[in-house]
Chains A and B, each alone.
Chain A
Amino acid sequence: MLTKRIIPCLDIKNGRTVKGINFVDLRDAGDPVELAKIYSDEGADELVFLDISATEERRKTLVDLVRKVASTINIPFTVGGGISSVEDVEILLQNGADKVSINSSAVKNPKLINDLAQKFGSQCVVVAIDAKQIDGQWIVHLVGGKVPTELTLFDWAKEVEERGAGEILFTSMDNDGTKNGFANEALAKLSSLVNIPIIASGGAGNIQHFVDSFTVGKADAALAASVFHFKEIEIKELKIELKNNNIEVRI
Chain B
Amino acid sequence: MKIVIINYGAGNIQSIMFAIERLGFKAVLSNNPDEIKAADKVIFPGVGEASSAMKMLLESGLDSLIPTLTQPVLGICLGMQLMCNASEEGNTKGLGIFDVDVIKFTPKVKVPQMGWNQIYNLKSPLFDGIAENEYMYLVHSFYAPDCAESIATTNYEVEYASALQKDNFYGTQFHPEKSGDVGEKILGNFLKL
Contacts and interface: CB of A to CB of B under 8 A. Distances in A.
Interface of A: 1-5, 40, 45, 67, 70-71, 74-76, 93-96, 98, 118-124, 166-167, 195-197, 220-221, 250
Contact of B18 (A4, A40, A71, A196): A71
A75 B12 contact: no
B112 A166 contact: yes
A1 B115 contact: no
> Which secondary structure dominates where chain A touches chain B?
loop
B25 interface: no
Interface of B: 12, 14-15, 18-19, 21-22, 47-49, 52, 78, 107, 110-118, 135, 137, 139-141, 155-156, 175, 177-181, 183-184
Contact of B156 (A2, A119, A121): A2
B18 A5 contact: no
A220 B115 contact: yes
Nearest to B184: A74
Contacts of B156: 2
Contacts of B177: 74
B137 A195 contact: no
Nearest to A166: B112
Contact of B116 (A71, A74, A122, A250): A250
17 contacts: A3-B115, A71-B18, A71-B21, A71-B22, A74-B22, A74-B184, A76-B137, A76-B178, A93-B12, A94-B14, A96-B18, A120-B48, A121-B48, A121-B78, A123-B112, A166-B139, A197-B112
A195 B111 contact: yes
B183 A74 contact: yes
Nearest to B182: A74
A169 to B, nearest CB: 12
A2 B107 contact: no
B135 A220 contact: no
Most chain B beta carbons < 10 A, residue from A4, A67, A71, A221: A71
Contacts of A196: 110-112
Contact of A2 (B52, B113, B178): B113
Contacts of A197: 110, 112, 114-115
Nearest to B14: A96
A75 B114 contact: no
B125 to A, nearest CB: 21
A70 B177 CA distance: 10
B113 A74 contact: no
Contacts of A74: 19, 22, 177-181, 183-184
Nearest to B137: A76
Contact of A98 (B15, B21, B78, B110): B15
A122 B141 contact: yes
A142 B125 CA distance: 51
A248 to B, nearest CB: 9
